[in-house]
Chains A and B, each alone.
Chain A
Amino acid sequence: MSNHKSQIFSPHFIYECLSLMEQFPKAKILAGGTDLLVRLKDEINQHDIIDISHLKELKGINIADDKIKIGALTTFSEIIENEIIAENAGVLVQAAEIVGSPQIRNRGTVGGNIANASPAGDSIPPLLILEAEIEISGKSGARTVPMRNFFKGPGKTILKKCEIISSVIIPKNKDYRGAFVRLGQRKSLAISKVSLAALFKMKDEKIEEARIALGAVAPTVIRASKTEKFLIGKKLNDETISEAKKIICDEVSPISDIRSIAEYRKEMCGELLEQAITRQLF
Chain B
Amino acid sequence: MKIVSKSKIKVDGPGLATGKQKFVDDFDMHGMLVGKILTSPHAHALIKKINTSKAEKLPGVHAVLCYKNVPRVPHTTAGQGFPEPSPYDTFMFDKKVRYVGDRVAAVAADSEEIAMKAISLIEVEYKVLPAILNAKDSIKKGAPIIHDEPDATMPIPVPFEPEKNIAAATDVQVGDIDKGFEKADLIVEREFKAHYATHCPMEPHITLAYPDENGRLVIVTSTQVPFHVRRIVAQTLKLPIKKIRVIKPRIGGGFGGKQEILLEDVCSALALKSNKPVKIRYTREEEFAKSRTRHEQYVNLKIGATKKGKLTSIFMDVLSNTGAYGSHALTVACNCGSKTLPLYPCDNVRFRATTVYTNLPVGGAYRGYGATQAAYALECLMDEIAYKLEIDPVKLRQMNHIKSGGSSPIFEKLGEGKAGVKQTIGSCGLAECITKGAKAIGWKTGGGCQVSGAKEKTHKRGKGMCTLMQGSSIPEIDMAAATIKMNEDGSFNLLVGATDLGTGSDTILAQIAAEVLGCDESDMIVLSSDTDITPFDVGAYASSTTYLSGAAVIKTAQKVREQIIKVAAEVCGGNPEKAVIENKVVKFPGGKKVSFYDIAIHTLYLKDQFQIAATESNISHKSPPPFAAHFVEVEVDTETGEVDLLKYVAAVDCGTEINPKLARGQTEGAVVNGIGYAMMEEYIFNEKGRLLTDNFFTYKIPSTRDLPEIKIIHVKSYEDSGPFGAKSVSEISINGALPAISNAIFNATGARLTEGPFTPERVLKAIKFATKPE
Contact = CB atoms under 8 A, between A and B. Distances in A.
Interface of A: 1, 38, 42, 101, 183, 185-191, 258-261, 264, 267-268, 271, 274
18 contacts: A1-B114, A1-B117, A183-B640, A185-B700, A186-B700, A187-B705, A187-B706, A188-B703, A191-B697, A258-B684, A258-B692, A264-B641, A264-B760, A264-B761, A264-B764, A268-B640, A271-B639, A274-B639
Contacts of A1: 113-114, 116-117
Interface in B243-278: none
Interface in B3-54: none
- In the A-B complex, the 5 residue pairs with the smallest Cβ-Cβ separation, listed nearest first, are A187-B705, A1-B113, A264-B761, A188-B703, A188-B705
B452 interface: no
B113 A185 contact: no
B693 interface: yes
Contacts of A268: 640
Nearest to A101: B703
Contacts of A189: 703
B642 A183 contact: yes
B420 interface: no
B187 interface: no
A186 B640 contact: no
B153 to A, nearest CB: 39
Contact of A258 (B283, B698, B706): B698
A78 B680 CA distance: 31
Contacts of A264: 641, 760-761, 764
B447 interface: no
Contacts of B639: 271, 274
A186 B702 contact: yes
Contacts of A185: 680, 700, 759
Nearest to A193: B760
Contacts of B761: 260-261, 264
A137 to B, nearest CB: 32
A258 B704 CA distance: 23
A157 to B, nearest CB: 23
A271 B705 contact: no
Interface in B696-722: 697-698, 700, 702-706
Given A183-B640, A264-B641, 11 more contacts: A38-B697, A183-B642, A185-B759, A187-B703, A187-B706, A258-B693, A258-B698, A264-B760, A264-B761, A268-B640, A274-B639
A190 B698 CA distance: 9
A191 B703 CA distance: 14
A218 B657 CA distance: 55
Nearest to A187: B705
Contacts of A190: 700
Contacts of A42: 283
Contacts of A271: 639-640
A39 to B, nearest CB: 10
A267 B639 CA distance: 9
Nearest to A265: B761
A183 B760 contact: yes
A186 B680 contact: yes
Interface string B755-771: 00001110010000000
A136 B705 CA distance: 37
Nearest to A190: B700
A265 to B, nearest CB: 9
Contacts of B706: 186-188
B685 to A, nearest CB: 11
Where chain A touches its partner, the secondary structure class is: loop
Nearest to B707: A187
A188 to B, nearest CB: 5
Nearest to B640: A271
A186 B703 contact: yes
Nearest to A2: B113
Chain A CB within 10 Å, residue with most, of B114, B116, B693, B697 = B697
Contacts of A260: 761
Contacts of B641: 264
Contacts of A183: 640, 642, 760
A9 to B, nearest CB: 24
A142 B155 CA distance: 75
Nearest to A279: B456
Interface in B635-658: 639-642
Nearest to B284: A41
Contacts of A191: 697
A42 B695 CA distance: 13
B326 to A, nearest CB: 29
A211 to B, nearest CB: 23
B253 to A, nearest CB: 20
Interface in B724-774: 759-761, 764
Contacts of B704: 188
Interface string B262-304: 0000000000000000000001000000000000000000000
Contacts of B697: 38, 191
B245 to A, nearest CB: 34
Contacts of B642: 183
Interface in B65-114: 113-114
B639 to A, nearest CB: 5
Nearest to B696: A189
A185 B701 CA distance: 10
A259 B640 CA distance: 15
A274 B637 CA distance: 13
Contacts of A187: 703, 705-706
A96 to B, nearest CB: 16
B122 to A, nearest CB: 15
A191 B697 CA distance: 8
Contacts of B700: 185-186, 190
B239 to A, nearest CB: 34
A4 B680 CA distance: 40
Nearest to A257: B692
Contacts of A258: 684, 692-693, 698
Nearest to A259: B698
A187 B679 CA distance: 12
A259 B700 CA distance: 10
A68 B700 CA distance: 37
Contacts of B764: 264, 267
A40 B88 CA distance: 41
Most buried by A among B704, B706, B761: B761
Contacts of B698: 258-259
A187 B640 CA distance: 14
A190 B702 CA distance: 11
A224 B116 CA distance: 47
Contacts of B693: 258
Contacts of B117: 1
A274 B693 CA distance: 32
A188 B116 CA distance: 35
A3 to B, nearest CB: 8
A268 B765 CA distance: 13
A268 B759 CA distance: 14
Contacts of B702: 186
A264 B759 CA distance: 11
A190 B642 CA distance: 15
A259 B283 CA distance: 23
A185 B682 CA distance: 11
A185 B700 CA distance: 7
A38 B761 CA distance: 28
A42 B641 CA distance: 36
A267 B638 CA distance: 13
Contacts of A261: 761
Nearest to A1: B113
- Residue from B114, B639, B704 with most neighbouring chain A CB atoms (10 Å): B639
A118 B521 CA distance: 56
Nearest to B457: A278
Contacts of B759: 185
A101 B705 CA distance: 10
B204 to A, nearest CB: 14
B172 to A, nearest CB: 40
Contacts of B684: 258
